[in-house]
Structure 1
Amino acid sequence: MKFFCYHPINEFEPFFESMGLTGSELDSILPRDLLCLKDDGLLLENYHALCNYGVSRGMIGKIYREAKEVFSYDYGVLRSTLYSYKDMGLSQTSVIKVVVSSPSLLIGGVNGDFRKVLDMFRSLEIDFEWIEECLSDNDTYDWSQVLGFLNFICRLDYSKEELRALVKTHPGLLLEGSGRNAFHLVKILLKLGSTGQEVASLLLRLPQIQVGTFVKNLVRCLIFLMRIEMDSEDIARIVRAHTVMLGTLYLKKANTVQTELSIGSKRLRKIIKGDPYRLKNWALGMKLEPLRNSGENQGTRLQKKEFLLNLGFIENSDGLEKALKVIRGKGGELQGRFDCLLKAGLDSKDVIEIVKRAPEILNQTTDVLEQKIDFLVNGLRYPASYLVEFPKYLSYTIERVELRFSMYSWLRDQGVKSPQLSLHTYITYTDEMFIRRLVNHHPRGPEVWENMKSKHCL
């Protein structure tokens, strides 16, 4: 007892932990000048208001985390807000589900955007309890964003029955990312020249797949087509005609397909334009066999071999065979790309070493190589000689490098104590490793990362 007299227990710590808040969060929320719960009457009043209404203790922590000001409301205010939502025609279980998944609804009285969404559901004869089943306690919803997408699809050429069917068949259009994923899909389609009628038709035909996954697959296919330098008009035509197929297809990267098929961009473009459904054969996990070489390709191989032998590759060596498999282009094209590296100020011996270590970098046009080198030197402030140390830098897109560099710099500016990493290290991380080892080391890291990613999206 004497020990506790001099070291009293902070009652707020086990209280917050019982609400589902983690130990890492406690340091920033524990009151500095209070030890006993009874000294914060409003906190207890609002906690009891939620418990008495039926909100489970483990879920109250999420409300505290996202709408802390609710726990400072005067006596009776929070209880009144909860019953105001019930007076809108929601059942008690629906109110609980909504406020747990969207704690911000408890801030400032009844949320006007949520009321409008509810009214629109009623006009479509959609029971909100059905939508309630689609809500997740682990997600947070922005009802102004949901309302925005709901208003958008209401302006499309749908009958009331079609609109109701769309919402009930694909609730993810409204709820995944609070409609942001669906807006991203629409934005892509409109950029490619789709009409409002075509967008409306596509949304009705969406397969049973998460909207976010559909969008990521579609973007991956777009990047594939751009990597093989297909004309923008052909890209738009193919994507608009085969959107559903492309959105359900997790395509391999362009350089992987070209290497496995042992063909160049020109022949690959011709195959796709002739039969876009061939793309389905190049999904991740599909085994590909090299295509038979035409006479023209045999001639190209001889040109590539001569070019590589002139750089110092040894006849019949493993290095030469590997380079012949991954390098695409005619002798003159390869020489132009080699010269592009020389113009960056590199010594010819260094350029040869770069090509031997990463021959695939010569698959890019001189314009792309010049842009990447310019970004390395003027954007990242690295000397061109850094390519000798890290030749695979040229294999990554500028968007990836800029995104990773910006995030790493932000973390360093925020004082995150992470290892001093080289560009080479964090550029080559997989997305999962980058997030786990760097992004998650700051509380706002995931949010900042997603915002940065959105700026680099199509």
Structure 2
Amino acid sequence: MASVFFPIPTIHRSFKSSTPIPINRFSLSQPRSLLPLDSCPFRSRFHFSSTSSRFIPLASTSSDVPPDDSLHSLEEARLAVSEYLQRLGVSEEESVSIASNSPRFLKMLVDGVRELDETSMWISWSSEGERPVGDGFGFKEKVALMAREKGDNGKVAFLESAGMNLSSAMNVARYLSGEMLPSLIYKVKYMKELFFSGSGDGKFIGKSARRMMTNLSIPPDDDVQQTLSFFEKIEARRGGLDMLSSNEESFRLLLESFPRMLLLSIQSHVKPMVEFLEAIGIPKERMRGIFLSFPPIIFFGTEVLKSRIMTFEKVGIVEMEFGKLLPKYPWITSNCIQGNLKQIVSFFELEKVPNASITDAIRSWPLILGSSASKLELMVDSFDELGVRSKKLGQVIATSPQLLLQRPQEFLQVVSYLEEIGFDKESVGRILARCPEIFATSVEKTLRRKLEFLISIGVSKTHLPRAIRKYPELLVSDPDRTLFPRIRYLRQRGLSKRDIAFMVGRFSPLLGYSIEEVLKPKLDFLVNVMEKPIKEVVEYPRYFSYSLEKKITPRFRVLKERNIECNLKDMLGKNDEEFAVMFMGDKGTSEVIGARQHTNKAIQALASFGELLVSGIVSLTTREETNQAFEFLTRYVLRRV
């Protein structure tokens, strides 16, 4: 990209020179221990070409230039502001960039000088002990004096160059009156790097922020309320929350909404917090999602964060697990969510949900902590009507806790659809307990299309309820990634479309088995070792459900040793005793019964040992001793079996 140049006089007595120089970004020198200042440009209304450590903005719009000012006067005003900023400790390059990228501040100074010139009021600006301001003062000196008298020590010009409009820059500058300009420049650059560096996952961060807003049904505390206001400002802009982490406008709104962050010490407050987050397992590239989704967290400090982590330890979530939880739901560190945690846990305990299931639900979907107990109760009541309660309820919320945040009407739409295709409430409840994610899907976009797919491959409507009852996961399987590849593989092995439809109708879990781990090795064994035609699996598709090592191979060897031929159903469909009676005679039956008796004794021995531990008759003081005892007993039992 070609550089755009403004003809700006150089500062070292080269006023007569008209050679254009490029307008670069800020490059304030800092001590070695500080963040490199060329690492993060932050001009909001300019585009950059970052081919070097300097950033060259495009020219400002003509509306930024005072319409009645000569180019020479404007250049002098820029030079005056640049020299004034250098006296405040800003580098030459940095000062030129700030002066060139704060056109409204510059216009304010120029207009002020003209007004005093026209009214001859400069004499009133003379301070005690200073030379009176009069005809001896040039335009540049007057602009510099006007900048000094504003009293913001260059902050307004800098904040405008950082992307703020003039009024916002003045408001924030008043808030930061105690900050020195070089320190402020460094802080802004560090915060820009912290909040906006990293990969382009802005849409993901925006989607997460929108989800947090939508699912909050408890009164927000001050920190969350400030965050909501910040989100609303972003949402009102073009692109909305999807631009949260990638739009320069977002950084301007962030500084306007949370100017207090620029009062924080980078060395003693912000960096220790970043190090603490890394210590609990949060990589730097994921921190910006936390800070953008909940900016007030940066004010907490490490000690406050540690105390809020301890709240979750009471429900079984330790510090390192918290590091996985925080990026999912940064609001869990807020006071309102911390208080609601106790309410949610108490609610589920009253519903007799196991504590382990409650913890798993929070780990998987922490957004439920932003919901009121009364809202969760509506969904729990809907589950209860289907017979899903207590332990079954625990299984559902541990597997699909997002169901708790649904509206009851959405849930009941799925229930009604399943009833339409032939399921009673009891069957729907069993499906809910086994595959709850079905109830988080859309009837039109997902369920109806899956049934149409099953019909398209030849499964009759009368067999649909049976197929779904045996394998409800069919309704949430991806046809392109899961179902079609399995059908294609079975066709390649010689089965017809009609064969496959018949098999799915009788044993629908068939389409859930891995090709490489289940279908291929078992078909190869059937054809190559057992020397049976592949069509045998059409009559007995349940063949694929048995273990090749533990059941299919041992039974085939028994039959082969006795030169017995039988179909797959007779070979695999019987339990051990029935198989022994039919194919092994009395001796085989006795062996099977004896082995089973030994197994039962082993189970009883293990159970008795556990009871002794619980009762205190056997006392093992350490986990290592306990493990050693169990290992010894297990080896003993296995030898006997």
TM-score (structure 1 length as normaliser): 0.40
TM-score (structure 2 length as normaliser): 0.31
The structure number with the bigger radius of gyration is 2
